[in-house]
């Protein structure tokens, strides 16, 4: 409190991220912060029933305009916002009124539950969301204009955005995110700015901070930063690749040089679990109608159920350690920033746990672009095309009791209800119509 007062903070935002992955916040005045730390700020239960396109409750989400929960800020997530004068933020946990037990629809609680299950097996995940985003402008009529016409890693945008990138580095660092690398990506005006991995809960919290910061800093420079999965049909999409490694007793146990595939038995089973459930997982990790415009073969988005070392067309790309003797980390490319990071990571862990519990065996590695495999070569590698639209992915999710049960009845219902509503309303939308809705949501 002292620190916040010294820094001139007047408002503290309590943030939440809903099933449609829209980040929202209610602010409390600093005078009321102490009470808020105990009892939270109230929001309507129906907030978890809102789809991406407008603030109206999805009819089958199991939520109505009646009822409230409270959003209790987690003080360990406190940030003084470098981009909003006099304001700080904390991430909220959704709790039931009165007894303050976790509300089953809370995405952050869902992730915590999966982390606890994993830790019950003596395991831990370290992870980071690796984001790509576009920097764009709008003309007087509101049409998007590309901010440049460059391609992968060209240095011109790294020069022209120097001040913004510096501002971004300072803003991330002051909020405790450790910046690792930056370069311009393949699309015109597309950038990639990477931060360091952390434990699972913090990586999802960091993803909220990251998105908030990029968008706010860009807007200071008159730019719209967008993480929308596919903005231009003919240019690279925005991935939010989910990088993870498996740890036991503070040791990375992803790799094992004595294993034929260089992956430890436990991690092999964990990754096999993800591959086994991948089509259903798509409904959580690439969960917007727009996501499926990105996931097409030969755009490095990982359109096939498959895994491979340094394979950018496989859904799971594996990297080796420095000496190249064993696996170091896994990257789920089938992940974008239209996914709620708590749900995406939680569901990934649930699938991995299923793989371990059922002793699943990882299929053969895919060493070429899976789009060019002969059908006879696909079976032993489990190579299959991923769902082609959100509707298909939702059908897989509705059949996947492992993912649904991990969510629990209420969250599964609200999540599927929201996503089915989005699919119903947007299934025939053109890219242009999607851009109008989603560009500034994600």
Q: What is the contact surface with ligand GLU in residues (CB under 6 A)?
A: 132, 236-237, 239, 294, 300-301, 312, 333
Q: For the packed helices 107-119 and 341-357, what is the interaxial angle rounded to 10 degrees?
A: 30
| 107 contact choice in ligand GLU, Mg ion, none (CB below 5 to 8 Å, kind-dependent) | none
DSSP labels, 22-75: -EEEEEEEGGGHHHHHHH-EEEEGGGGG--SSSSS--TTSS--SS-EEEEEEEE
What's the min distance (Å) between Cβ of 66 and ligand GLU? Answer: 41
Closer residue to ligand GLU in complex, CB, 89/238: 238
Strands 179-184 and 190-195: antiparallel
Strands 124-138 and 198-199: antiparallel
What's the min distance (Å) between Cβ of 132 and Mg ion? Answer: 5
Cβ atoms within 10 Å of 151's Cβ, excluding its own: 14
Residue with the CB atom nearest ligand GLU in the bound state: 239
| 236 contact choice in Mg ion, ligand GLU, none (CB below 5 to 8 Å, kind-dependent) | ligand GLU
250-272: burial string, b at 16+ Cβ within 10 Å, e else:
eebbbbbeeeebbbbebbbbbbb
Contact criterion met (CB below 8 Å) for 305 and 384: yes
What's the min distance (Å) between Cβ of 279 and ligand GLU? Answer: 18
| 300 contact choice in ligand GLU, Mg ion, none (CB below 5 to 8 Å, kind-dependent) | ligand GLU
What's the min distance (Å) between Cβ of 185 and ligand GLU? Answer: 6
| 370 contact choice in Mg ion, ligand GLU, none (CB below 5 to 8 Å, kind-dependent) | none
Closer residue to Mg ion in complex, CB, 172/263: 172
Beta-carbon contacts of residue 120 (< 8 Å; ≥ 6 apart): none
Alpha-carbon torsion (368, 372, 374, 379), positive or negative: positive
Burial group, residue 85, by CB count within 10 angstroms (0-12, 13-18, 19+): exposed
- Picking from 282, 273, 320, 274, the residue whose alpha carbon sits closest to that of residue 303 is 282
Strands 314-320 and 304-309: parallel
CA distances in angstroms from 132 to 21, 192, 193, 261, 307, listed in the order given: 17, 5, 7, 30, 21
| 419 contact choice in ligand GLU, Mg ion, none (CB below 5 to 8 Å, kind-dependent) | none
| 301 contact choice in Mg ion, ligand GLU, none (CB below 5 to 8 Å, kind-dependent) | ligand GLU
Residue with the CB atom nearest Mg ion in the bound state: 192
Closer residue to Mg ion in complex, CB, 226/268: 226
What's the min distance (Å) between Cβ of 194 and ligand GLU? Answer: 10
What's the min distance (Å) between Cβ of 241 and ligand GLU? Answer: 6
What's the min distance (Å) between Cβ of 233 and ligand GLU? Answer: 13
Closer residue to Mg ion in complex, CB, 83/133: 133
Closer residue to ligand GLU in complex, CB, 238/252: 238
Closer residue to ligand GLU in complex, CB, 83/299: 299
What's the min distance (Å) between Cβ of 294 and Mg ion? Answer: 12
Residues near Mg ion (CB under 5 A) are 192
| 312 contact choice in Mg ion, ligand GLU, none (CB below 5 to 8 Å, kind-dependent) | ligand GLU
Closer residue to Mg ion in complex, CB, 77/150: 150
| 293 contact choice in ligand GLU, Mg ion, none (CB below 5 to 8 Å, kind-dependent) | none
Closer residue to ligand GLU in complex, CB, 56/153: 153
| 109 contact choice in Mg ion, ligand GLU, none (CB below 5 to 8 Å, kind-dependent) | none
Alpha-carbon torsion (45, 48, 52, 56), positive or negative: negative
What's the min distance (Å) between Cβ of 301 and ligand GLU? Answer: 4
What's the min distance (Å) between Cβ of 302 and ligand GLU? Answer: 7
Closer residue to Mg ion in complex, CB, 93/192: 192
Burial group, residue 436, by CB count within 10 angstroms (0-12, 13-18, 19+): middle
288 backbone dihedrals φ, ψ, rounded to 5°: -115, 160
Residue 264 corresponds to which tokens in the numbers above? Answer: 């430890």
| 333 contact choice in ligand GLU, Mg ion, none (CB below 5 to 8 Å, kind-dependent) | ligand GLU
Contact criterion met (CB below 8 Å) for 337 and 229: yes
Closer residue to ligand GLU in complex, CB, 78/154: 154
């Amino acid at each position: 409190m002292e620190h916040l007062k010294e820094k001139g903070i007047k408002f503290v935002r309590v943030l939440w991220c809903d099933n449609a992955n829209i980040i929202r916040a209610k602010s409390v005045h600093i005078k009321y912060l102490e009470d808020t730390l105990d009892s939270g700020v109230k929001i309507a239960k129906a907030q978890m029933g809102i789809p991406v396109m407008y603030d109206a409750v999805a009819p089958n989400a199991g939520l109505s305009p009646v009822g409230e929960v409270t959003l209790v800020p987690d003080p360990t997530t406190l940030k003084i916002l470098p981009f909003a004068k006099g304001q700080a933020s904390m991430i909220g946990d959704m709790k039931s009124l009165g007894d303050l037990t976790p509300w089953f629809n809370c995405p952050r609680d869902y992730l915590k539950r999966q982390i606890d299950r994993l830790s019950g097996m003596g395991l831990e995940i370290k992870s980071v969301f690796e984001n790509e985003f576009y920097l764009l402008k709008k003309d007087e009529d509101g049409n998007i204009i590309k901010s440049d016409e460059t391609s992968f890693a060209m240095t011109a945008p790294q020069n022209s955005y120097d001040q913004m990138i510096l501002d971004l580095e300072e803003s991330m660092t002051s909020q405790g995110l450790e910046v690792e690398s930056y370069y311009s990506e393949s699309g015109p005006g597309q950038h990639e700015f990477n931060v360091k991995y952390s434990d699972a809960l913090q990586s999802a919290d960091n993803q909220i901070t990251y998105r908030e910061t990029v968008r706010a800093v860009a807007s200071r420079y008159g730019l719209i930063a967008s993480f929308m999965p596919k903005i231009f049909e003919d240019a690279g999409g925005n991935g939010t690749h989910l990088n993870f490694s498996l740890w036991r007793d503070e040791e990375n146990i992803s790799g094992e040089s004595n294993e034929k595939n260089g992956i430890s038995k436990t991690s092999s089973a964990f990754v096999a679990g993800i591959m086994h459930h991948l089509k259903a997982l798509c409904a959580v990790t690439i969960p917007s109608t727009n996501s499926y415009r990105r996931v097409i073969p030969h755009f490095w988005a990982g359109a096939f159920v498959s895994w491979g070392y340094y394979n950018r067309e496989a859904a799971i790309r594996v990297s080796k350690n420095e000496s190249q003797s064993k696996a170091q980390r896994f990257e789920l490319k089938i992940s974008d920033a239209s996914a709620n990071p708590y749900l995406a990571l939680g569901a990934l862990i649930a699938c991995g746990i299923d793989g371990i519990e059922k002793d699943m065996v990882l299929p053969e590695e895919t060493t070429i672009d899976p789009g060019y495999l002969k059908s006879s070569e696909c079976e032993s590698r489990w190579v299959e095309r991923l769902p082609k639209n959100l509707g298909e992915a939702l059908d897989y999710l509705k059949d996947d009791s492992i993912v649904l049960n991990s969510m629990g009845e209420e969250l599964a219902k609200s999540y599927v209800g929201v996503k089915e509503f989005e699919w119903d309303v947007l299934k025939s939308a053109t890219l242009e119509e999607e851009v109008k809705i989603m560009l500034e949501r994600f």
